Amino acid sequence: MTKILYIEDNDQNFYLVSFIMTAKGFGMVRAHDGREGIDLATKEKPDLILLDIQLPIMDGYATARELKKIPDVSTTPIIALTSYAMAGDREKALEAGCTGYIEKPINPKTFVEQITVYLPAGDSPGDPR
């Protein structure tokens, strides 16, 4: 089963994405802040990381840079999820090491497709159980 780590402090947001993703057969792991996200990424070795930018303690850009330093995680796709939409947000995220960038609010109809693009080939979510 494809494992996705979602680093997000807002419960509603996590619940929304988690609901959609698990309904489509993905396994979800949650971290509440950057520090926890780094620990879980090291421990769980997820197939993909969803990363909120506005995080307490350590923001999403710093978290992305740290994640890239972990040997087992350095090749893992990181998708930034942010409601920041000012000039340069996308560039800053890509610069920090993110693979993709999705603006909030998400579109529940197309979200899974947007994510799937970044997964390694053949790593399909599998049938829901």
Partner 1 sequence: MKLQSRVLILYLCIALLVLVLIGGVLPASLHKQNLEAISGDSISQLRHIDFALSNFIGEAKYDVLGLSLNDNVQIRDDSHFTSFLNASEETFQYSYTPQEQTIINTFRDYQTTHPYVSSVYMGRENGTSVRSYPRKPTQYDPRDRPWYILAKDHPGTVSVTDPYKAVTTDDVNIGIVTPVLDQNGTMIGVVGADITLVNLTSYITTVGSVKGGEMILVDQKGTILASRDSSLLYKNINLILRDQTQLFLTSKEGVLVLNGTYLMYYTSPELGWKIGTFVPFSTIEQEINNSITRILMFVLLALVLLSVITILALNYSVIQPLTRLTDVSRRIAETGDLDQKIETGGAGEIGSLASSFKAMVEKLQNDIEERRKVEDTLLESETKNRRIIETANEGIWVLDRGLNTTFVNQRFADMLGYTREEMIGHHLMEYIADEDKQVIENQIASRRKGMKGSYELGLIHRNRRMIWCLVSGSPILDETGSFQGSFGMFTDITERKNAEEALQEAHRTLEYKVAERTRELAQAKEAAESADRLKSAFLATMSHELRTPLNSIIGFSGILLQELAGPLNEEQKKQLGMVSDSAEHLLALINDVLDLSKIEAGQLKIAKEPFSLRPVLDKVVRTVNPLAQVKHLSLELEVAPEVGAVMADSRRVEQILLNLISNSIKFTEQGYIRISCEHVGSEVRISVTDTGIGIKPKDLEKLFRPFTQVETGLTRQYEGTGLGLSISKRLVTLMGGTITVTSEWGKGSTFSFTIPVDRSPL
Contact 93, 128 (CB under 8 A): no
Q: Measure Cα distances from 30 to 8, 23, 68, 92, 115 in Å.
A: 7, 16, 18, 24, 17
**One character per residue 27-66, x = contact with partner 1 (rule: CB under 8 A):** ---------------------------x------------
Query: Is residue 88 part of the contact set for partner 1 (CB under 8 A)?
Result: yes
Measured from the CB atom, the residue of 19 and 74 that comes closer to partner 1 is 19
Query: Is residue 75 part of the contact set for partner 1 (CB under 8 A)?
Result: no
Residue 52's nearest CA partner among 2, 107, 3, 89 is 89
User: In the complex, which residues of this chain contact partner 1 (CB under 8 A)?
Assistant: 10, 12-13, 16-17, 19-20, 23, 54, 83-88, 103-109
